[in-house]
Structure formats: C-alpha cells, structure tokens
Amino acid sequence: MANDESLSRAHHPILHPGTRELTEGGFSREEVALANRNSGTLLEMLRHDVTPPGLHYLLIHFDVPYVPSAADWALDIGGLVERPLKLTLDELKRCPQRTLCVTLECAGNGRAAITPRSPSQPWHTEAVGTAEWTGTPLKALLERAGMVAGARDVVFHASDRGFDCGVEHDYARSLTPEQALGDDVLLAWAMNGAALLPQHGFPLRLLVPGWYGMASVKWLNRIEVIDRQFDGFQQVGTYMYRKTADEQGVPVTTMRVRSLMVPPGIPDWYTRRRLIEPGRVELFGRAWSGQGVPIAKVEVAAAGHWREARLDPVPDRYAWRGCHFEWHATPGEHELMCRATDAKGETQPIEQRFDRGGFGNNAVHRVQVTVR
C-alpha cells in the first residue's frame, strides 16, 4: 500500500467496469450487489429524531478495514505544517470535545430515478440518517500543527483501498484550509454515545456537517496539508456534477434541500405500494438542507394541491426538522408528494435534474397510495 501517494495512476484494465450507461429497462447484477452491500435507512424510521443504530445509511466504497483495536492506531497530521503531530485515540479523546446532531445524506441519493443511469449504487430515496457525533474540532488541531504559507488544500487520507474506473487508490478527500478551519468540522470517535462501529469508520472519521456524506471520510488515518489542489480520484474523478462525460464539472459539496415522508398505511411486501383506510391520516416527514441552513417551509400535495405542513420546533443546526400534515383520505388511487424550502429560498424541484453521475437528485418525494 503506497503510503506517501494515495493515488496510483497505474490503471488496471481488467478491473475497469467501463462507462456503459444503464437505462430504465433493468438494473444490473452489480447494481443489486451494491444495493445489498450498502444500507439505506427505513423510511418508517424517520419518526426517530436520532436514527437507531444499524439504520443510518451506509455507503462503503471498498471494504471496511478490519481494525480489532485502536491500540496500534494513530492519526498523523503533516505536510505543510510547522509542527507535525501524531496522536493516539486516547490523546484525541483528551482534547476538547463537542457533540453535534447531524443529518448526513449520500450525494447519490435518488440516483436510481435518473435516466440514463450511472453504474453505481442505485439509491432510491433512503440514503440518509441522523446521529449524534462526538469528537474534537479539527480547527484546534490544525492551529496546533500550524499550517504554513502556501497551504492550498487539506487532504484526509483513509485506510480503505480499492479501484474505481481502473484507478487504484486509498479513499481520500480534501477541503480548502478555509473549509477545514470551519468551527463545526469534527474528528469524530463516537456515534450516539458509543465508539464508532467498524462500518462507520472506527477508530476515527472526519465529520463535515452540512455536506453530503463523501466529505466525512471514514477510517481516517492521515491529514496532509499540500501546496496544490488535491487531484485524488474521489475529489476530481467522481463527486462532480456533470451533464456530459467531457465537461470538467462542478464539485459536489453541501446537501441540497430535501424532505422525505413516512409512507402512511401498510405496505405490500414486493411493490411497497401502500394501502390506507379512508378518513383522517396523520402524515409525518423530515426535511433538511445543507450548510446548516434552516428549513423554512414544507409543503405536502395530494391531488396536486400544495398545502403547508406544520413544522416541529427548530432543531439543532445540522439536524433534520420534523413536520406534520393532516390529510383527509378518500377512496381511490393517490400520489402524495412533499417538498421543502430552506431559509435561502431553495426549493426541491418537481422533476429531477439530469446528472451524469446521479448526484444531488433532490426532487420531491412521491408516495403512491391506495385508499380502501
């Protein structure tokens, strides 16, 4: 494993999946294997302010590293700093700590609805979760290390390694110094009051509240300050908004405003279509946006008429907000929709926007129901 260079440019053609585009007609065996490996939340669990353990979404690019104990583990902070640091988990835990309640969503949430479809994890709407993360602010450690003049990017290297599009690399992402020095960026060792589970990054992960999940690097082991723009695969080879294959694209960063509702009634096992009784139906949903921008409004539509939902009190800055809506259900077929608007005036679109990689699809949530 290359330790000083996370990204090997030596392509291995055997492992290159190609760039074939998938169409509506059928999902591939690889997509289903990814859907089985990665975990979505269960929409009925949106009722819980904090997602129960095991139900927070998980997107794992390579294999979860096998780390039975943190005894031999340490975090390196180096590169363009005055005082390189090496910190054990115990040393990190003795630093000042904060706990933040944060909603995280995968940037590819909603990919399965976009045609043609990028060959990747085929999320429908379930790649989201909220947890209480405990860790130490990155800012203080970076100040202790002392970034020197010329620092251009802060790179977060992880221990999971594999291929993507023929490029072998350790998972790594970067932030600009300004982003990395944000008050709420944490080096987190606990989730919901317990040590990180292996699949959530044990022993340490980055947490960048308000951003899509790819920025919150799991199995973090090295932070490196560099004098150039980081060009690792996970920074420039993917997680870019692109309409065509040849454009440079715009980096995927903070979460777009979004809402989801708990599907009412009871489901059919296979189709997940809902059956409900006529009369008053209490609908419940959650809404969130990026960068800690508050949710200003959630609307629900039945039969195409949008009406405002009642919002729960303002939650912690980075946590989703609950909302309630009363619907008088009449017999027949209905499509329920919900859409959120944030304090900056951003609203969910009715139809998804095309993105080649399937990123950032925050179209309104639709639930088909049959009223008996």
Q: Which residues bind a second copy (CB under 8 A)?
A: 12, 14-15, 17, 25-40, 42, 44-45, 47-48, 52-56, 58, 60-64, 66, 112, 119-120, 122-124, 126, 161-164, 168, 197-200, 263, 266-273, 275, 333, 370, 372
Cis peptide before 68 (omega within 30 of 0): no
Number of alpha carbons in the 13 Å side-chain half-sphere of residue 329? 24
Report the nearest approach of a second copy to the CB of residue 40 (Å).
Answer: 4
Residue (53 or 349) nearer to a second copy, CB: 53
Report the nearest approach of a second copy to the CB of residue 152 (Å).
Answer: 27
Residue (37 or 344) nearer to a second copy, CB: 37
Two tokens, residue 237: 């080879």
Could you report how far apart the first and last alpha carbons of the chain are, in Å? 60
Residue (181 or 262) nearer to a second copy, CB: 262
Two tokens, residue 268: 């059919």
Report the nearest approach of a second copy to the CB of residue 268 (Å).
Answer: 4
Two tokens, residue 354: 């095309």
Residue (81 or 104) nearer to a second copy, CB: 104
Phi, psi of 366 (to 5 degrees): -120, 135
Report the nearest approach of a second copy to the CB of residue 336 (Å).
Answer: 16
Using DSSP, state whether 130 is helix, strand or coil.
strand
Report the nearest approach of a second copy to the CB of residue 113 (Å).
Answer: 9
Residue (270 or 351) nearer to a second copy, CB: 270
Residue (55 or 70) nearer to a second copy, CB: 55
Nearest to 211 by CA among 60, 349, 318, 343: 318
Two tokens, residue 113: 């609805």
Q: List CB contacts of 189: < 8 A, sequence separation 6 or more.
A: 89, 92, 93, 134, 135, 195, 196, 203, 204
Residue (125 or 259) nearer to a second copy, CB: 125
* Element of type H or E holding 133: strand 128-137
Report the nearest approach of a second copy to the CB of residue 32 (Å).
Answer: 5
Unique residue bearing structure tokens 């809404």 = 287
Please list the residues that pair with 333 across neighbouring strands.
370
Q: Alpha helix locations (H) across 98-222?
A: 138-145, 177-180
Report the nearest approach of a second copy to the CB of residue 94 (Å).
Answer: 26
CA 196 to CA 173: how far, in whole Å? Answer: 20
